[in-house]
């Protein structure tokens, strides 16, 4: 399944490298938009959130939501290839 992870990271100067590494640890991921990742995983949204939660602050915001096949947008061909493959 594909999940969309969107976030607002609100703590200036905070190092979010561990969050990004946690996102990259999923079987397959896509990151072509600044605050949006797509991940391919068998985990559910709660499991994904629980894996990422240790790496965000209480004033940050994060959304994990399952994607479906109804999509449109203005992206590079490389981005569309990943989306269509997964």
pLDDT tier for residue 10 given thresholds of 50, 70 and 90: confident
* Residues with Cβ within 8 Å of residue 59, at least 6 apart in sequence: 10, 11
What does the pLDDT look like over 42-76, one tens digit per residue?
999 999 999 999 999 888 999 999 998 888 999 99
> Which has the higher per-residue pLDDT, 14 or 55?
55
**CA geometry: angle 65, 70, 76, nearest 5 deg:** 90
Whether CATH 3.30.70.240 fits 2-85: yes
Q: pTM to 2 decimals? A: 0.86
């Amino acid at each position: 399944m594909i999940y969309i992870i969107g976030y607002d990271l609100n703590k200036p100067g905070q190092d979010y490298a561990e969050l990004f590494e946690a996102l990259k640890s999923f079987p397959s991921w896509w990151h072509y938009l600044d605050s949006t990742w797509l991940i391919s995983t068998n985990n559910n949204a709660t499991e994904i959130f629980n894996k990422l939660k240790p790496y965000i602050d209480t004033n940050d915001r994060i959304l994990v939501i399952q994607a479906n096949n109804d999509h449109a947008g203005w992206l590079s061909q490389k981005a569309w290839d990943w989306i269509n493959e997964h």
